[in-house]
Amino acid sequence: MDKVALLLLVQEKLKAEFGGGFISSELMADYPVFVLNRDIICDAVRFLYNDEELSFQFLTNLAGLHYPDNKGQELGVMYQLHNLRKNYRIRLKVFFNINEPDVPSITPVFKGANWMERQEFDFFGINFTGHPNLKRILNMDDMTYYPMRKEFPLEDGTREDKDDTMFGR
């Protein structure tokens, strides 16, 4: 099945199952991308897992996103699912307000999401509700900020001996 047909098929199924939970879809390079409402993400992943035709039973990747200029939709999570039998690959995205960064955890469907979600909690402060053990994983426990958010500079902002304006950093 080519990418466009896959996009239409998944879109149709998601729309029929979740109605308003489905927000938009797009073909990005080689992946169909679906933007969903964050409240239904766990149900949507479970639905795609159990659906006989699609059966997305492998979680490839999970990444946090931060777009400070999208007011009210600053934070996001990207999920990449894979059907290993038919080699279908899709990407799901959810976006939400930075002031209430709660997303249902998908650990009930994929055990492997455990550390992936912990990582994004650690770096973006995304609160995965229903996660069995949501605590920092790569950074130290007493860190007070979320370093992958765009407002945190890579280097110490008080230093004056480094001028990066010429380097576009």
- Contact residues toward another protein (CB under 8 A) are 28-31, 33, 57-61, 63, 65-66, 78, 80, 84, 87, 91, 110-112, 114-116, 119, 123, 137-140, 147-148, 154, 167-169
Which CB, 20 or 168, lies closer to another protein?
168
Which CB, 8 or 84, lies closer to another protein?
84
Give the contacts of 20 (CB within 8 A, at least 6 positions apart).
37
**Residue 148 Cβ vs another protein, minimum distance, rounded to whole Å:** 6
How many alpha carbons fall within 13 Å on the CB side of residue 92? 26
Query: What is the distance of C-alpha 107 from the center of its chain?
Result: 13
**Residue 102 Cβ vs another protein, minimum distance, rounded to whole Å:** 21
Which CB, 12 or 143, lies closer to another protein?
143
How far CA 73 is from CA of 98, 118, 138, 151, in Å, comes to 7, 21, 26, 16
